Structure 1
Amino acid sequence: MSTQKHFPYVNNKMFAEKVDLSNIAHHVGTPFYCYSNTAIRQNFQAYEHAFSSQDTLICYAVKANGNQAVLSTLAKIGSGADVVSMGEILRARAAGIPAEKIVYSGVAKAEVEIEYALNEGIFQFNVESEPELELISQVAKRLDKVAAIAIRINPDVCANTHAKISTGKSENKFGVPISKARLAYKQAASLPNIKVQGVDVHIGSQLTELAPFQEAYQRIAQLIVELRSDGHDISVVDIGGGLGITYLDESIPSKQAYADVAQAQLSHLGCKIVIEPGRSLLGNAGVLVSSVVFVKTGEERQFLILDVGMNDLVRPSMYDAYHEILAVDNSSTELKTYDVVGPVCETGDTFAKARTVKESKSGDLIAIMSCGAYGAVMSSTYNTRMLAPEVMVKENEFAIIRQRPSYEAVINADNVPSWV
Structure 2
Amino acid sequence: MTDPADSPAVRRLADWDAPTLESLAEEYETPLYVIDLDRVAENYARFSAAFPDADVMYAAKAHTGNAVLETILATGGDIECAAWGELQRSIDAGADPNTLQYTAVNPPDRDLDYATDLAADAPGLTITIGATDTLERLAERGYDGRIAIRINPGIGTGHHEKVATGADAKFGIPYERVPAVADRVREGFDLVGLHAHVGSGVLRDGLEEHCRALARVGEMARRVGDEELEFVDVGGGYGVPYREDEPPLDLAETAEKIREAVGEIDATLKLEPGRYVVADAGLILTTVNTIKEAPDTTVVGVDASLSTLIRPAMFGSYHPMLNVSAPDRESIEATVGGPVCTSADVFAHDRPIAGPERGDVLAIGNAGSYGYELANQFHSQPRPAEVALEDGESRVVRRRETLEDVTRLER
- TM-score when normalising by structure 2: 0.92
How many correspondences in the alignment?
396
- Whether 1:179 aligns to 2:176 is yes
Which ranges in structure 2 are unaligned for 5 or more consecutive residues?
1-8
Which ranges in structure 1 are unaligned for 5 or more consecutive residues?
416-420
Does the residue aligned with 1:131 lie in a helix, a strand or coil? helix
Does the residue aligned with 2:159 lie in a helix, a strand or coil? coil
Alignment-derived partner of residue 135 in structure 2: 133
- Which of 213, 217, 225 lines up with 1:216 in the alignment? 213
Cα distance, 1:78 vs structure 2: 1.2
Aligned partners of 1:6 and 1:39 also within 8 Å: no
Cα distance, 1:330 vs structure 2: 3.8
Aligned partners of 1:62 and 1:83 also within 8 Å: yes
Alignment-derived partner of residue 318 in structure 1: 314
Alignment-derived partner of residue 161 in structure 2: 163
- Which of 337, 342, 346 lines up with 1:350 in the alignment? 346
Whole-angstrom distance in 1 between the partners of 2:14 and 2:78: 27
- Whether 1:251 aligns to 2:253 is no
Question: Measured at CA, do residues 399 and 251 of structure 1 come closer, stay the same or move farther in structure 2, by a change above 3 Å?
Answer: same
Whole-angstrom distance in 1 between the partners of 2:404 and 2:325: 34
Alignment-derived partner of residue 61 in structure 1: 59
Question: What does residue range 66-81 of structure 1 map to in structure 2 within 5 Å?
Answer: 66-81=64-79
Q: Which amino acid aligns with 2:62?
A: A
Identity rate of aligned residues, in percent? Answer: 26
Cα distance, 1:85 vs structure 2: 1.0
Alignment-derived partner of residue 146 in structure 1: 144
Q: Which amino acid aligns with 2:162?
A: K
Alignment-derived partner of residue 49 in structure 1: 49
Whole-angstrom distance in 2 between the partners of 1:226 and 1:412: 54
- Once the two structures are superposed, what CA deviation does each residue of 1:169-195 show, in whole Å capped at 9, x if it has no partner? 1x43110111211122122223x3x11
- Once the two structures are superposed, what CA deviation does each residue of 1:148-171 show, in whole Å capped at 9, x if it has no partner? 1111101111315310111011x4
Question: Measured at CA, do residues 8 and 253 of structure 1 come closer, stay the same or move farther in structure 2, by a change above 3 Å?
Answer: closer
Aligned partners of 1:127 and 1:150 also within 8 Å: yes
| Residue range with higher mean Cα deviation, 118-127 or 370-379 | 118-127
Question: Measured at CA, do residues 282 and 160 of structure 1 come closer, stay the same or move farther in structure 2, by a change above 3 Å?
Answer: closer
Alignment-derived partner of residue 33 in structure 1: 33
Alignment-derived partner of residue 418 in structure 1: none
Cα distance, 1:331 vs structure 2: 4.5
Question: Measured at CA, do residues 48 and 165 of structure 1 come closer, stay the same or move farther in structure 2, by a change above 3 Å?
Answer: same
Alignment-derived partner of residue 104 in structure 1: 102
Alignment-derived partner of residue 199 in structure 2: 204
Whole-angstrom distance in 2 between the partners of 1:148 and 1:21: 46
Cα distance, 1:108 vs structure 2: 1.7
Cα distance, 1:5 vs structure 2: 5.5
Whole-angstrom distance in 2 between the partners of 1:396 and 1:234: 44
Displaced runs of 4 or more, over 6 A: none
Whole-angstrom distance in 2 between the partners of 1:358 and 1:173: 44
- Which of 388, 397, 401 lines up with 1:401 in the alignment? 397
Does the residue aligned with 1:151 lie in a helix, a strand or coil? strand
Aligned partners of 1:286 and 1:369 also within 8 Å: yes
Does the residue aligned with 1:268 lie in a helix, a strand or coil? coil
| Residue range with higher mean Cα deviation, 370-379 or 74-83 | 74-83
